[in-house]
Amino acid sequence: MQCYNQFAHIYDELINSDINYEEWSQVILNVFKEQGGETLDYLDLACGTGNLTSIIAGEFQNVWGVDLSEEMLIEADDKLRKQGIKAKLVCQNICDLNLNRKFDLITCALDSTNYIIDKNQLKNYFINVKKHLKSNGIFIFDINSYYKLNNILGNNVFTYDDEDVVYIWQNQLEHNIVDMFLTFFIKREGLYERFDEEHSERAYKEDEIEEVINASALKIVQKMNNYKKEEIINTTERIVYVLKNDEEN
């Protein structure tokens, strides 16, 4: 897939109006502290431009971020430096995580887990996360629900136009995988520059993903409806999982 390349440079402009990173971060930190976590080492997987990383970083002594897109990491590095935050950023596939370090808290937000299409890779993902968690370490991640990908995003077309940025977003759903084709037009000096991106997300049912989680020996301690302590219902669009490594390392 060609994704998060040129898109990285306009990502914040498009996404920040839809996501309340401050609210999400506070929920994550509250849940983490409820579980008795120590604020020493924090890792943000698929950290993107560092929006979540930059907020949670203030609570931790050591901060790391991992993303597969070099362009997104460049944006994250610039943002963190401007805020005076020291963080180690690594370009790596989160399914093959290998940092030779353990963390008290690991996060993976904004449905990045849905980007893992292959089930064997999904297994590797959770196994490697567990290897990087300290004893009693917490992993918090979210997914676009099966309902959202099948009933809201799948086989639909979305458009956006604010004069400076225009995009057309076309989705195709097949075998629980949504292929997303995005065409952007960015206004620069009175002219529009075009670029295209392709993204794919897999729709996982709860029992399907929880089977893989349990096989990795991580314990599900909590589930939330879109970062709110509300029951998961049939029309929930974002499911948040709180996992714990309750084994001694």
Query: Is 171's pLDDT higher than 70?
Result: yes
- 10 pLDDT tier (thresholds 50, 70, 90): confident
Q: What is the pLDDT of residue 5?
A: 64
Q: What is the pLDDT of residue 4?
A: 60
- CA 211 vs CA 116, 190, 205, 218: distances in Å: 16, 52, 10, 11
pLDDT tens digits for 25-43? 999 999 999 999 999 999 9
pLDDT tens digits for 43-90? 999 999 999 999 999 999 999 999 999 999 999 999 999 999 999 999
Q: What is the pLDDT of residue 140?
A: 98
pLDDT tens digits for 97-145? 999 999 999 999 999 999 999 999 999 999 999 999 999 999 999 999 9
Q: What is the pLDDT of residue 2?
A: 53
Query: Is 1's pLDDT higher than 50?
Result: no
Query: Is 249's pLDDT higher than 70?
Result: no
Residue 53: partners with Cβ closer than 8 Å, 6 or more residues away = 44, 47, 63, 65, 76, 80, 85, 87
| Mean of the per-residue pLDDT values of the chain | 94
b (16+ CB within 10 A) / e for 140-163: bbbbbbbbbbbbebbeeeeeeeee
pLDDT tens digits for 182-212? 999 988 888 888 989 899 999 999 999 999 9
Give the burial class of 209: count Cβ atoms within 10 A of its Cβ; 0-12 exposed, 13-18 middle, 19 or more buried: buried
Of 244 and 196, more confident: 244
Query: Would you list the domain boundaries of the chain?
Result: 6-144+204-244, 148-202
Q: How far apart are the first and last CA of the chain?
A: 36
b (16+ CB within 10 A) / e for 4-38: bebbbebbeeeeeeeeebeebbebbbebbeebebe
- Residue 61 main-chain phi, psi, to 5 deg: -80, -40
6-144+204-244 CATH fold: Rossmann fold (3.40.50)
Class for the domain spanning 148-202 = mainly beta
Distance, CA of 51 to CA of 57 (rounded, Å): 10
Identical fold between 6-144+204-244 and 148-202: no
Of 162 and 127, more confident: 127
| pTM (two decimals) | 0.94
CA angle 34, 36, 39 (to 5 degrees): 105
Residue 245: partners with Cβ closer than 8 Å, 6 or more residues away = 130, 133, 134, 135, 136, 137, 138, 139, 217, 218, 219
Contact 8, 46 (CB under 8 A): no
Residue 171: partners with Cβ closer than 8 Å, 6 or more residues away = 153, 154, 155, 156, 157, 158, 178, 179, 180, 181
